Amino acid sequence: MKILHSDVLVIGGGLAGQRLALAVKRRGLEPSILSLVPAKRSHSVAAQGGMQASLANCFKGEGDNEDVHFEDTVRGSDWGCDQRVARMFAHVAPKAIRELAAWGVAWNRVRAGEHEVVINGERVTLTEREAAHGLITARDFGGTRKWRTCYTSDGTGHAMLYTLSDRVIAESIPVLERQEALALIHDGQRCHGAVVRDLMSGELSAHLARATVIASGGYGRLYGISTNALINEGMGAALALETGVARLGNMEAVQFHPTAIVPAGILVTEGCRGDGGVLRDADGHRFMPDYEPEKKDLASRDVVSRRMAEHMRAGKGARSSYGEHLWLDITQLGAAHIDRNLREVKDICRYFLGIDPAKDFIPVRPTQHYSMGGVRTDHRGESPWLSGLFSCGEAACWDLHGFNRLGGNSVAETVVAGMLVGEYVADFCQSAHGDLEISTALARDFVLREQRHLEQLLTRPGGENAVSLRRRMEQIMTDKVGLFRNGPDLESAVAELAGLLARSEEIGVRGGLDANPELVLAYRLPRMLKVALTVAMGALNRAESRGAHFREDAPARNDRDWLNRTLACWYEGEALPTLEYEELEVSRMELPPGFRGYGAKNLIEHPDAASRQAEVDEMHAAKLDRHAAQSYLMSFKQFLPLKYRGRNERLDEPLP
């Protein structure tokens, strides 16, 4: 048996995994990154519109700071997030973007003087300060009160991923490409690494590590149509789930992005609307202001997606051979702006739709886009149930996004989490618990278990067809666990998915054990179904509507009964996952639950909300320095690594 060893095994080579690897390497540890694909091909590369960080350089960003970013994020999450984590994140995001700027990302910059932009359908002239010339600029995005989303044209994820990958190469960190983790090696209390399969040769090995990190992205491909890359099949969540010990958090929180093209499901960035584009219906009418007079086309994604679906249900959708859709109109932005700032959008329209977005409307509809749920961790990124197992980025639920993520907060989260969790992983490795103590017999048992399982797949008679089971799963998720949900549909989804899981044990494989896509689907599908079941059951149990989780039979956000986080665990030998709930404590919130300012106002209040709000109001009435007020309400800096506690300088906020 082949045994490999690193200090830190990072599963996933996207932005989060690579930034984490750099952090631990700089602490003197030896990380290895496992990646299904060459690291630069990870799904992070597809992020288009930008990264939120409260730099406050551009005119429409003036006055921005961590407080505003924090509040926007909590409102966006529909109060489902961990406010401590949101604070840590908002504080470190400016540092993360400045680090990336130093490492080579060519962020778009402020040009001093006048420039024309489109806001709410009107051309307006803005004047940028001389002092800000050449600093990182930002664009408008949904659910934010300031222009905070920093960008490189509409290839932000690409620019960030290439810069981080180049640093990983510069710092000689090995990326083991085309390698897949099949199972975590653990003893029920401590994780020791993973069983790894080489996707080219089929060879299995035990990769042992002091700390193991799941940074493998989301589970969007459980749905038939998704903006996600094909590799986002939820295998990171499945790895944790199959330990029977680690828990997944808020798996029912699945985001649908308003603007994916029809029919391919490819994303066109929220930056289209941020830069002044609008949504139109079959009659060419701009309908969003009718529903959302305040934020209009730039409410949060969950709200805009639901309003679009509502409008199509009212018979206002444009018809096509691929079903109904709406239109995204960016013609008013003009060819010059599109050529400079929305060039990927232009390419996508040209290659996949045969249209020019400077002249034609883009057919769009809400499409699965992001997984707020994931491997539940504490604010340090570690699983509270399995020591030595960490997670960060979209794969994790630490929990920054609650029930809805704001645009521009995902790539920001990947690098911030990589920086922070990387420090905590290093602390863990260098602590008394961090030594690797494992018998080779345990590693061998895990490898042999996987080996036998794969061999068994080749000898099965193959009564079931993996492709048709998968298509059925995708259909169930789309139809019954989608944008609008209800009890009876979710019940039937759980029953059907459980049936598919049983049938997936009968899938047979014809080819061999090496590079064989049929084998890959055969072993992944049962895992996908398990993850799908945690999503469907979480949605069935949660009898309220919060963020992206919308129940037609329980349309109110019910803080009284559901201000909590869903935890899913799959105990060994059980037919279904077990759900439990973790309360969110109102009395410790810096921003007590209330109306978001957009979306339907339909709320059952938490009994403690009013008294906590009174405390918070009293603090604000005292007119303290904003840092002092914040610290009294919910101190968080002690949870940050020392090196990231310093204040962030801004043009209007010099360092003390």
Partner 1 sequence: MTASRTLTFHVFRHNPRDPDSVPGVRDYQVEEAPGMTLFIALTRIREEFDPGLSFDFVCRAGVCGSCAMLINGRPGLACRSLTGELPADISLFPLPGFELIADLSVNTGKWMRAMSERLQAWVHAAGEVNLNEIEIAMDPELAESIYELDRCIECGCCVAACGSAQMRPDFVGAVGLNKLARFRLDPRDDRSDAEYYQLIGDDSGIFGCMSLLGCQDVCPKELSLQTQIAFMRRAMARQGL
Which residues are annotated as catalytic? 257, 273
Closer CB to partner 1, 17 or 388, in the complex: 17
Closer CB to partner 1, 162 or 581, in the complex: 162
Based on the shown chain and the rule CB under 8 A, indicate whether residue 347 belongs to the binding site for partner 1: yes
Count of CB atoms situated within 10 Å of the CB of 17: 33
178 forms bridges with which residues in the sheet?
none
Based on the shown chain and the rule CB under 8 A, indicate whether residue 459 belongs to the binding site for partner 1: no
Range in contact with partner 1 (rule: CB under 8 A) among 166-174, 440-448, 578-586, 623-631:
166-174
Distance linking the first and last C-alpha atoms of the chain:
58
Beta-carbon contacts of residue 456 (< 8 Å; ≥ 6 apart): none
Based on the shown chain and the rule CB under 8 A, indicate whether residue 33 belongs to the binding site for partner 1: no
The token duo for 420 is: 């922070």
Binding map of partner 1 across residues 48-67, x = CB under 8 A, - = no contact = -------x------------
Minimum Å gap between C-beta 225 and partner 1 is 12
Element (H, E) at 175: strand 175-177
Determine which residue in the list 83, 108, 205, 558 makes contact with partner 1, applying CB under 8 A: 108
CA–CA separation, 452 vs 455, rounded Å? 5
Closer CB to partner 1, 230 or 628, in the complex: 230
Based on the shown chain and the rule CB under 8 A, indicate whether residue 556 belongs to the binding site for partner 1: no
Beta-carbon contacts of residue 34 (< 8 Å; ≥ 6 apart): 9, 10, 11, 12, 13, 176, 179, 180, 181, 194, 196, 207
Range in contact with partner 1 (rule: CB under 8 A) among 331-339, 388-396, 453-461, 641-649:
641-649
Determine which residue in the list 1, 2, 28, 111 makes contact with partner 1, applying CB under 8 A: 111
Determine which residue in the list 102, 432, 575, 621 makes contact with partner 1, applying CB under 8 A: 102
CA–CA separation, 449 vs 438, rounded Å? 17
Closer CB to partner 1, 471 or 588, in the complex: 471
Contact between residue 630 and residue 637 where contact means Cβ atoms under 8 Å apart:
no
Determine which residue in the list 28, 134, 488, 499 makes contact with partner 1, applying CB under 8 A: 134
**Torsion angle of C-alpha atoms 494, 364, 308, 73, degrees rounded to 10:** 80
Based on the shown chain and the rule CB under 8 A, indicate whether residue 135 belongs to the binding site for partner 1: yes
Based on the shown chain and the rule CB under 8 A, indicate whether residue 84 belongs to the binding site for partner 1: no
Q: By CB under 8 A, what part of segment 270-329 binds partner 1?
A: 321
Closer CB to partner 1, 53 or 308, in the complex: 53
Query: Can you point out the beta strands (E) in 252-388?
Result: 254-261, 278-280, 326-329, 362-371, 374-376
Element (H, E) at 124: strand 122-128
Determine which residue in the list 9, 191, 267, 333 makes contact with partner 1, applying CB under 8 A: 267
Minimum Å gap between C-beta 157 and partner 1 is 8
Q: By CB under 8 A, what part of segment 217-236 binds partner 1?
A: 229-231
Range in contact with partner 1 (rule: CB under 8 A) among 106-114, 496-504, 607-615, 620-628:
106-114
Based on the shown chain and the rule CB under 8 A, indicate whether residue 626 belongs to the binding site for partner 1: no
CA–CA separation, 69 vs 55, rounded Å? 10
Range in contact with partner 1 (rule: CB under 8 A) among 127-135, 360-368, 435-443, 534-542:
127-135
Based on the shown chain and the rule CB under 8 A, indicate whether residue 515 belongs to the binding site for partner 1: yes
Contact between residue 391 and residue 184 where contact means Cβ atoms under 8 Å apart:
no
Q: By CB under 8 A, what part of segment 245-264 binds partner 1?
A: 263-264
Minimum Å gap between C-beta 244 and partner 1 is 31
Based on the shown chain and the rule CB under 8 A, indicate whether residue 2 belongs to the binding site for partner 1: no
Minimum Å gap between C-beta 483 and partner 1 is 22
CA–CA separation, 608 vs 592, rounded Å? 9
Determine which residue in the list 514, 580, 585, 617 makes contact with partner 1, applying CB under 8 A: 514
Minimum Å gap between C-beta 202 and partner 1 is 9
Q: By CB under 8 A, what part of segment 353-392 binds partner 1?
A: none
Minimum Å gap between C-beta 621 and partner 1 is 30
| Helix residue spans in 287-439 (DSSP H) | 288-291, 301-311, 334-341, 343-348, 409-429
Determine which residue in the list 107, 141, 291, 370 makes contact with partner 1, applying CB under 8 A: 107
Closer CB to partner 1, 380 or 647, in the complex: 647
CA–CA separation, 578 vs 564, rounded Å? 16
Side chain identity, residue 235: M
Closer CB to partner 1, 386 or 519, in the complex: 519
Minimum Å gap between C-beta 345 and partner 1 is 11
Determine which residue in the list 129, 145, 178, 627 makes contact with partner 1, applying CB under 8 A: 178
CA–CA separation, 423 vs 432, rounded Å? 16
The candidate with the shortest Cα–Cα distance to 326, out of 343, 311, 306, 342, is 311
The token duo for 383 is: 């699983």
Based on the shown chain and the rule CB under 8 A, indicate whether residue 45 belongs to the binding site for partner 1: yes
Contact between residue 185 and residue 388 where contact means Cβ atoms under 8 Å apart:
no
Contact between residue 411 and residue 157 where contact means Cβ atoms under 8 Å apart:
yes
Based on the shown chain and the rule CB under 8 A, indicate whether residue 116 belongs to the binding site for partner 1: no
Range in contact with partner 1 (rule: CB under 8 A) among 39-47, 245-253, 447-455, 485-493:
39-47
Closer CB to partner 1, 349 or 539, in the complex: 349
Minimum Å gap between C-beta 352 and partner 1 is 7
Give the interface size with partner 1 as a residue count (CB under 8 A): 78
Contact between residue 83 and residue 587 where contact means Cβ atoms under 8 Å apart:
no
CA–CA separation, 602 vs 595, rounded Å? 8
Based on the shown chain and the rule CB under 8 A, indicate whether residue 646 belongs to the binding site for partner 1: yes
Based on the shown chain and the rule CB under 8 A, indicate whether residue 426 belongs to the binding site for partner 1: no
Contact between residue 75 and residue 596 where contact means Cβ atoms under 8 Å apart:
yes
Going by the DSSP 8-state scheme, the letter that residue 381 receives in this structure is S
Based on the shown chain and the rule CB under 8 A, indicate whether residue 155 belongs to the binding site for partner 1: yes
Range in contact with partner 1 (rule: CB under 8 A) among 82-90, 91-99, 304-312, 525-533:
91-99
Based on the shown chain and the rule CB under 8 A, indicate whether residue 517 belongs to the binding site for partner 1: yes
To which residue do tokens 């330990």 refer?
A: 243
CA angle 253–585–601, rounded 5-degree value: 55
Binding map of partner 1 across residues 484-513, x = CB under 8 A, - = no contact = --------------------------xxx-
Beta-carbon contacts of residue 91 (< 8 Å; ≥ 6 apart): 66, 636, 637, 640, 644, 648
Based on the shown chain and the rule CB under 8 A, indicate whether residue 152 belongs to the binding site for partner 1: yes
Based on the shown chain and the rule CB under 8 A, indicate whether residue 420 belongs to the binding site for partner 1: no
Based on the shown chain and the rule CB under 8 A, indicate whether residue 535 belongs to the binding site for partner 1: no
CA–CA separation, 456 vs 468, rounded Å? 21
Minimum Å gap between C-beta 553 and partner 1 is 36
Instruction: Identify the burial level of 560 via C-beta atoms within 10 angstroms of its C-beta, where 0-12 means exposed, 13-18 middle and 19 or more buried.
Output: middle
